[in-house]
């Protein structure tokens, strides 16, 4: 029986598509990589047959077409769920409850609750490069 590293949320083999000075692009065939991840039901990686992942180029030498192992730690998966699902949910529900408590009609409370998410996602978009550095994948040569 294969040993599963529970500290790793995402671990899958893929092939290197392209390499530039600071990024390696890896094509992942979505098989059973998400079977042990706590975020498997929420993550968009599990929904497609193939995924393209950009990985920071390390000091190791890689070549296009080479098979590599791509990993992401479990703590990074939990942070992604927090930013992508939990915080927007809390914003939506709390805004809806507060506005409803003040007696606004349900349709206005619902509309404003949805609109409150726009600044949040704009904030995430503005800080996307910082988030990209935070949610980094690591790459290793396969044996």
| Residue 117 placed within a domain | yes
| Residue 3 placed within a domain | no
Please enumerate in sequence order all residues whose Cβ is within 8 A of that of 3, keeping only pairs 6 or more positions apart, or say none.
Answer: none
Looking at residue 135, its pLDDT comes to: 74
| Residue 109 placed within a domain | yes
Total domain count, the chain: 1
| Residue 2 placed within a domain | no
Distance of CA 98 to the CA centre of its chain: 30
| Residue 1 placed within a domain | no
Looking at residue 36, its pLDDT comes to: 53
| Residue 87 placed within a domain | yes
Give the DSSP H or E segment for 76. Answer: helix 74-81
Q: Please give the torsion angle defined by the CA atoms of residues 34, 39, 41 and 42, in that order, rounded to the nearest 10 degrees.
A: -120
Please report how many Cα atoms fall inside a 13 Å half-sphere around the Cα of residue 41, on the Cβ side: 1
Taking only the tens of pLDDT, the chain with its 143 residues reads 444 455 556 678 888 888 887 788 888 876 545 555 555 555 555 555 677 877 777 666 888 888 888 887 667 778 888 998 999 999 999 999 999 999 999 999 999 999 999 999 999 999 988 887 777 777 878 76
Regarding pTM above 0.75, the answer is no
Determine the structural domain holding residue 67 and report its residue range.
8-141
Looking at residue 109, its pLDDT comes to: 95
Looking at residue 133, its pLDDT comes to: 74
């Amino acid at each position: 029986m294969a040993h599963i590293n529970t500290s790793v949320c995402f671990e899958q083999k893929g092939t290197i598509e392209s390499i530039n000075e600071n990024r390696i692009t890896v094509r992942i065939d979505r098989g059973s990589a998400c079977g042990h991840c706590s975020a498997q039901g929420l993550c968009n990686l599990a929904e497609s047959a193939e995924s393209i992942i950009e990985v920071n180029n390390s000091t190791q030498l890689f070549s296009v077409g080479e098979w590599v192992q791509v990993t992401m730690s479990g703590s990074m998966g939990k942070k992604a769920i927090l930013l992508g699902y939990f915080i927007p949910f809390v914003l939506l529900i709390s805004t809806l409850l507060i506005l409803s408590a003040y007696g606004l009609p349900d349709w206005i409370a619902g509309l404003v609750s949805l609109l409150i998410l726009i600044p949040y996602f704009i904030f995430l978009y503005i800080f996307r490069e910082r988030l990209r550095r935070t949610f980094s994948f690591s790459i290793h040569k396969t044996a």
